[in-house]
Amino acid sequence: MGEEREYKVSGIAPSPQAAGTADEASDRLLTIPNVISTIRLCLIPVFLVLLIQGHSIESALVFALASATDFLDGLIARSTHSVSKLGQILDPIVDRALIISVVIGIFLVGRLPLWMLIVIFGRDLYMLIGGGWLLFFHHIRVPVIFLGKLATTFLFVGFAGMLINMPLIPGLGVTALPWLPGFTAEPVSWGIWFLYAGIVLICFTTTYYTVKALSLYKLQLREKRDGKERQSSFAGGVEGNG
């Protein structure tokens, strides 16, 4: 009867390689973007080893290099029309692995409190499960807002600062709670304040995405119900005329 409507809604921005449509994606395995993604994946253990062994500057440089290749492979994939099905899967997986490694690494060297790790991972897990359920079962995808991208930027700048771990700046000294670095009197990396800002923003944007997704889900249910009622009314009218 009517054309099915798809609601565009996603809490996570699609990766550059995933931007191509299914028709554009090829079955090729050996492409320049895929090679770059594989190199980025191989840089993750190098980064972790350097960080755990106390080479803060070197680990930060490797992290910056790995992060830069994320932009590079997407740019090459689009400009050379080499978007592949493997790349659409590999690119976001490597991106997530990079984020997980840096958060765990900073935590293991004692620069990140446990609650921050839980908030960042918990939010990602919530967005992954909730967004996946809405997309696959209800075709609902919430568009990314500017504050979501800003939150990611703050987090990555904060991660870089925590990796370099210099210069250290004095804490505010307003509390003695050790799980609130920056608010104690202990010197702390400047990156911690970017992490606080990023965490505040991801909490806000996650709430926004949740409310938006729920409103679209209710709208979808209401339109389906109205559609069934119109069909019933139409069928009843036909029978009456018959």
Chain segment 196-209, per-residue pLDDT in tens: 999 999 999 999 99
Hey, how many other C-beta atoms are within 10 angstroms of the C-beta on 130? 16
What are 211's two structure tokens? 């409310």
Domain boundaries, the chain: 17-232
Please give the full DSSP string across 202-218, using - where no structure is assigned.
HHHHHHHHHHHHHHHHH
Q: What is the mean pLDDT of the chain?
A: 82
Query: Could you report the per-residue pLDDT of 157-198, keeping only the tens digit for each?
Result: 999 999 999 899 999 999 999 999 999 999 999 999 999 999
More confident residue, 160 or 29: 160
pLDDT band at 1 (very low <50, low <70, confident <90, very high): very low
Cα–Cα distance, 200 to 181 (Å, whole number)? 15
Percent of the chain with pLDDT over 90: 45
182: left (phi over 0), alpha (psi -120 to 50) or beta: left
CATH of 17-232, one of 1.20.120.1760, 3.40.190.150, 2.60.120.590, 3.30.470.20: 1.20.120.1760
User: What is the per-residue pLDDT for 13?
Assistant: 39
